[in-house]
């Protein structure tokens, strides 16, 4: 085997130009795939993290008839009941429970106004479930103040210490207004939070809305990847609420992720097909050019299958080397994308929500699995591609081959 590989390597180096052209196709394809795969993985990681941090927690409980098409309807509000909190906390997998209220409001700076979403949170229990404090870039959360997204503050020309006016409808449908000082700015990976959200103490909101109700109860568990199972357990205990895990709640986003994964896999398939066709060509030409050598080797006693294996080994070496170089260039490119990222800020401003929860700078992450999968697939494809032309060698008669003049 070692002898065959050595011979194959020497053969490949005899026609360097053709060999390099062939494996460059694979190198290019693998490099592009590595970059795209890491970018998508970075996007997914940030997006799911964002969803869990700001929107869903691990498990979320809402009104049993929660209407997705009318998310700010007061019919979606639930009465807070102590026994529900106690039922949830009784489970050993629960790490934190908190209630929040969400409502649509208009923020006015005296000149302009824009729609915002007010999130009323419980200052004691919210930090057991969400990590809001981690994302406060300036100022702090205070009982009688509001923390607003940095982009919202920028758009409205508001700084810490300024007072914003908020107008919204209370539980009875009457419009009510509230003046609140800005005490903190939020910068998170969630563009929605940065552009639209206003976080305030739930007591202030409930008092203004003339209600003690909440929109949701969020739960943090010991393992977010078991959230589906935990949600089922909690649902059985609390049948008159709707209990979902973050996975179920993010199904629309998950569809986008799976579409992107399918697109990525399709691209890898196209790359492999292109590389395979190139390898078939190269091996075919190599066989026809070396007919006399094949005849010589067979005449000297080399078995048909050994000669065949020689050409398969050529294909293997081209494929393996091509994918290795692709992994190397992909790694170098990914170093840039992982530590520096791609700035999509200008595009995001124009295009808005594109099916992923991310801020302007998109950073890749390492996908270790790709190194193994791509190497294996590229090498396997190369061996498969070289098999068909190499098989032709088995039918060649030494005497016919030796009659060839080169």
Partner 1 sequence: MFLKFAFRNLLRNKKRTFTSALSVFTAAMLVGVGYGWINGVMDLYSEGFIKYQTGNVRVVTEGYESREKFMPLDEVIVNADEIVSNIRKIEGVTSVEERVRFGILMGKDDNTVTAVGMGLDVKNNSFGFADKMIEGGIADHGIYLGVRLAESLRLKVGEEILIASKTSEGGLNGIKVKVAGIFKMKMAAFDKHYFFLNLADAKKLLKIHKGATEIYAFTGRAEDSAKLRDQIKPLAGEGLSVKTYSEQMGGLDELLKMMKSIFFFIEIAILALACFVIINTMVMAIFERMREIGTLKALGFTEADLFVIFTGEGAMIGILGGIPGALLGFLGIYMWSKTGINLEGMLKNVEMPIEYVIHPMLSLTDIFGVLAMATIVPIVSSMIPARYIRRYLPSDALRM
Positions that interact with partner 1 (CB under 8 A): 69-70, 72-75, 103-106, 108, 111-115, 155, 167-169, 173, 175, 252, 273-274, 277-278, 280-281, 284-285, 288, 346-347, 349-353, 355, 403-406
Rounded to whole angstroms, how far apart are CA atoms 7 and 310? 7
Rounded to whole angstroms, how far apart are CA atoms 314 and 81? 72
Rounded to whole angstroms, how far apart are CA atoms 119 and 15? 68
Rounded to whole angstroms, how far apart are CA atoms 30 and 397? 39
Supply 46's token pair: 């940030």
Residue 166, φ and ψ in degrees, nearest 5: -115, 130
**In whole angstroms, how close is the CB of 147 to partner 1 at the nearest point?**
21
Q: Percent helix, strand, coil in the chain (nearest 5)?
A: 60, 20, 25
The alpha carbon of 177 is separated from its chain's Cα centroid by a whole number of angstroms, namely: 40
Residue burial 306-326, b: 16+ Cβ < 10 Å; e: rest: bbbbbbbbbbbbbbbbbbbbb
Closest CA to 344 of 49, 39, 117: 39
Contact 83, 67 (CB under 8 A): no
Cβ burial of 254 (10 Å; 0-12, 13-18, 19+) is middle
> Rg (Cα) of the chain, in Å, rounded?
31
Contact 212, 80 (CB under 8 A): yes
Rounded to whole angstroms, how far apart are CA atoms 182 and 342? 32
Residue with tokens 């998310």: 71
Closest CA to 188 of 260, 119, 243: 119
Rounded to whole angstroms, how far apart are CA atoms 348 and 151? 13
Contact 94, 219 (CB under 8 A): yes
Residue with tokens 């404090």: 133
């Amino acid at each position: 085997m070692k002898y065959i590989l050595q011979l194959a390597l020497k053969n490949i180096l005899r026609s360097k130009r053709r060999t390099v052209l062939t494996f460059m196709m694979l190198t290019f394809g693998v490099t592009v795939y590595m970059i795209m795969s890491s970018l998508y993985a970075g996007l997914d990681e940030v997006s799911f993290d964002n969803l869990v941090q700001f929107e869903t927690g691990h498990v979320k409980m809402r009104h049993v008839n929660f209407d997705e098409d009318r998310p700010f309807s007061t019919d979606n509000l639930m009465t807070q009941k102590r026994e529900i909190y106690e039922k949830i906390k009784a489970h050993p997998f629960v790490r934190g429970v908190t209630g929040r209220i969400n409502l649509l409001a208009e923020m006015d700076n005296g000149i302009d106004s824009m729609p915002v979403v007010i999130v009323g949170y419980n200052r004691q229990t919210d930090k057991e479930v969400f990590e809001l404090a981690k994302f406060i870039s300036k100022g702090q959360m205070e009982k009688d103040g509001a923390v607003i997204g940095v982009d919202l503050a920028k758009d409205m020309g508001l700084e810490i210490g300024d007072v914003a006016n908020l107008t919204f409808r209370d539980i009875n449908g009457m419009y009510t207004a509230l003046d609140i000082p800005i005490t903190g700015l939020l910068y998170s990976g969630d563009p929605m939070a940065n552009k639209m959200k206003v976080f305030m103490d739930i007591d202030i909101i409930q008092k203004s809305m003339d209600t003690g109700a909440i929109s949701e109860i969020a739960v943090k568990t010991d393992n977010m990847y078991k959230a589906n199972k935990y949600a089922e357990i909690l649902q059985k205990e609390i049948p008159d609420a709707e209990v979902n895990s973050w996975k179920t709640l993010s199904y629309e986003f998950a569809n986008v992720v799976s579409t992107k994964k399918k697109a990525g896999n399709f691209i890898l398939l196209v790359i492999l097909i292109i590389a395979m066709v190139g390898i078939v060509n190269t091996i075919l030409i190599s066989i026809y050019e070396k007919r006399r050598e094949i005849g010589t080797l067979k005449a000297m006693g080399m078995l048909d299958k050994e000669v065949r294996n020689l050409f398969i080994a050529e294909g293997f070496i081209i494929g393996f080397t091509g994918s290795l170089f692709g992994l190397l260039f992909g790694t170098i490119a990914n170093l840039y994308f992982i530590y520096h990222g791609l700035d999509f800020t200008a595009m995001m401003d124009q295009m808005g929500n594109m099916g992923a929860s991310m801020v302007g700078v998109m950073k890749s992450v390492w996908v270790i699995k790709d190194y193994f999968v791509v190497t294996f697939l590229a090498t396997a494809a190369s061996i498969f591609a070289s098999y068909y032309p190499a098989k032709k060698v088995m039918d060649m008669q030494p005497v016919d081959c030796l009659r060839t003049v080169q």
